[in-house]
Chains A and B, each alone.
Chain A
Amino acid sequence: MSFPWAKPYEPTHPLMKWMDEKLPIPRLVYNATGPGYPVPRNLNYFWNFGVLAGAALMIQIITGIVLAMHYAANASVAFNSVEHIMRDVNAGWFIRYAHMNGASMFFIVVYLHIFRGLYYGSYKAPREMVWLLGVVIFLLMMATAFMGYVLPWGQMSFWGAQVITGFFSAIPIVGEPVREWLLGGFVPDNATLNRFFSLHYLLPFVILGVIILHIWALHIPGSSNPTGIEVKDEQDTVPFHPYYTAKDGFGVGVFLLIFVALTFFSPNTLGHADNYIPANSLSTPAHIVPEWYFLPFYAILKAFTFNFLWIDAKLWGVIAMFASIALLFFLPWLDSSPIKSSNYRPLYRIFFWILVADVLLLGFCGMQPAEQPYVILSQLGAIYYFAHFLVILPIVSRIERPLPMPNSITEAVLAKHATDTSSASATA
């Protein structure tokens, strides 16, 4: 366990003692999310998003298992089986809309979780492994979400599968055979739908496994915190339970309120009308657009329009799109600054917010047709995206002069309260 003052698990009830000797699961839970896990006392609300992502995954797994009881993964009936769920299954419309919007909520909280990590330097030593596993989870989520979107077998399902598996055909020589192997045919069809269903059911449990590793790796150094200063003594921490279980409970409440508002009052806002048209391989929709959570990457893909060197534009786009995620694996080594929190990094902080704006811009461009000015905007956005991680960040972390930092978490907390009370008495 991480800190010497962590409260030890001491079962008193004979049954719990017996259990602890045979299979110490209660001990594991106690030390992982109970009073046995000391956590910095100064975490802000951005530290809620890990738990929220876990809650979102559980919602997806539960609603997904129920949906799979009624869904039929066959190209001739898949579309109608979804409508059967919407119309005839008891509360099927709720389960299906919850699963559909649950995916969006999952991505919202994971994106906030990732940007929290970027702002507060959570990817830095000693937490590189936590970050790397997080990127693996993100990639698995993207694969799962993509395959899930194919299952209703609407027009956007079909054409999305066509476009995304088409990326592989950009690879020279082996590309086309690889694509046919992935699809199990020349176009998305029954073989594709069946394997996507199988993998869509499998991957969430793989994600669950990697999440366990992610939390395990986190518990070795312990959670980071908004100051980026490592925990020094017991004063700096509070036990996870009840302090953060209570705070996360409130976070889950707010999360569920937003989730429920979306699911019940506006369930189709984040979807596409075209996906209520059954898949038709002979009719291409006017605009093929992925789900919103893929839009920034889709914009990067489309930004490459020039055959540069011996690589054609399509392959550039595909490589760049994969690279835009893969570079996150190298982030702990691209940023050499020892300061974690951007609160003390005046220069990096500016570029961080530019990156946030840039990703939003790319997302906006991703849903537009291939017309000006959206093409040039996504090109500029993609330039900044790569420049940020591969050029600016390594340079900034070398030349930046950090702001003065407190000596410990407790000092930072007490200093904050001192200014709060003095400004409060000044206004009074």
Chain B
Amino acid sequence: MVRPLGFLVGLGFITALVLAIFTTPLSNEANVAHEFHKHPRHLKLASDGIVLPHWDKAQLQRGMQVYKEVCSACHSLNLVAFRNIADLGYTEGQIKTFAKGFQVPSINPDTGEPATRDGLPSDYFPSPYANETAARAANNNALPPDLSLITKAREGGKDYVYSLLTGYQNPPANLPAELKPGTGLHYNPYFANLNLAMAPPLAKGQVTFADGSPNDVKNMAADVTAFLVWTAEPKLIKRIQVGYAVFFFLLIFTVLTYLSYRNIWADKKH
């Protein structure tokens, strides 16, 4: 009974699928934007890979400076607290001073009115806008995303972020009119639909580094990307270090279990 019924059900599905094959066009709708879209370029960082990765603290500090002086004008970093930047090599005193440089939302203790106060190490990087509406109003209705997780939240990760920051260019001459950047948009072949609302954020020499590191667009982009890799996963290096310890411990465990397995079965043919 099961077999004839199953056979009929099977025929039903197969017929529906065969008809689907013959009614689905074999050619795709042309997607012109695809031709102009580029894959991200690789950015090599000290924190890459699993062979002895480490944080390049000098670079992370430069990256944070780029974030503070450039990106933070529009983008929040709301998962990172000032206390976290101890990872970047700052001392407690430096963190206190750094936090004090930010005004964070507060309540006036005398009147109960909304107010601001100096930042503390336990505060998080404040958002540049009071709310989403304010952010959109200031940005031609585009919403600048929070950057805390940006290198994990985009396909291509850090390579994508780096490529986007360095990828602004004039639209190619053969770009169809409908793909040309409209008012307030900027052409960038690394962005999914080629035109984005963010103006080129970095310009040569925009940030001056205390250590005299080169400050052309590529270097600043690499530095801030390295910083954003850290903000996205501050435990990345620790994770890999612990991983090695756990892996080798388990490797020894596995070798021992294998030997005991061989030993126990030694007299049994199987």
Contacts and interface: CB of A to CB of B under 8 A. Distances in A.
A263 B235 CA distance: 13
Interface in A242-298: 242-243, 246-247, 249-250, 252-254, 256-257, 260-261, 263-265, 267-268, 273-274, 276-277, 286
A264 B250 CA distance: 13
A316 B268 contact: no
Nearest to B26: A372
Contact of A304 (B20, B25, B145): B20
Contacts of B145: 277
Interface stretch (B61-69, B94-102, B257-265): B257-265
A336 B264 contact: no
A233 to B, nearest CB: 15
Contact of A383 (B2, B14, B28, B257): B14
Contacts of B128: none
A382 B13 contact: yes
Contacts of B258: 250, 253
A391 interface: yes
Contact of A306 (B19, B239, B240, B265): B19
A417 interface: yes
A219 interface: no
Given A246-B260, A247-B265, A379 B21 contact: yes
A327 interface: yes
Given A286-B192, A372-B27, A383-B18, A260 B250 contact: yes
B84 to A, nearest CB: 8
Contact of A380 (B6, B21, B239, B254): B21
Contacts of B247: 257, 260-261, 264
A267 B153 CA distance: 14
Given A41-B270, A257-B247, A383-B17, A268 B152 contact: yes
A2 interface: no
B10 A86 contact: no
Contacts of B11: 390-391
B92 interface: no
A175 B148 CA distance: 40
Contacts of B242: 94, 264
Contact of A330 (B6, B28, B261): B6
A248 B124 CA distance: 48
Interface residues of B, number: 58
Contacts of B79: 80, 83, 87
A344 interface: no
A305 B20 contact: yes
Contacts of A135: none
Interface in B1-19: 2-3, 6-7, 9-11, 13-19
Given A327-B6, A413-B270, A379 B250 contact: no
Given A246-B264, A273-B153, A273-B157, A386 B14 contact: yes
Contacts of A323: 9, 13
Nearest to B1: A333
Contact of A334 (B3, B16, B20): B3
B152 A273 contact: yes
Interface in A56-83: 80, 83
Contacts of A254: 254
Contacts of A387: 10, 14
Contacts of B20: 303-306, 308, 313, 379
Contacts of B2: 330, 333-334
Contacts of A371: 28
A295 to B, nearest CB: 17
A249 B259 CA distance: 11
B28 A372 contact: yes
A386 B19 contact: no
Contacts of B6: 327, 330, 334, 389-390, 394
Given A243-B264, A250-B258, A42 B270 contact: yes
Nearest to A391: B10
A274 B254 contact: no
B10 A386 contact: yes
Given A94-B239, A257-B247, A380-B21, A249 B14 contact: no
Interface in A104-123: none
Interface string B32-69: 00000000000000000010000000000000000000
B118 interface: no
Given A265-B240, A391-B10, A246 B265 contact: yes
21 contacts: A83-B148, A87-B235, A238-B270, A243-B265, A243-B268, A246-B257, A246-B264, A250-B254, A257-B251, A257-B254, A260-B247, A264-B239, A264-B243, A306-B16, A316-B16, A327-B6, A334-B6, A373-B26, A376-B26, A386-B17, A414-B269
Given A391-B11, A394-B6, 16 more contacts: A41-B269, A238-B268, A246-B260, A250-B254, A253-B250, A257-B251, A264-B247, A265-B240, A273-B154, A306-B24, A334-B2, A376-B21, A379-B20, A379-B21, A390-B10, A414-B269
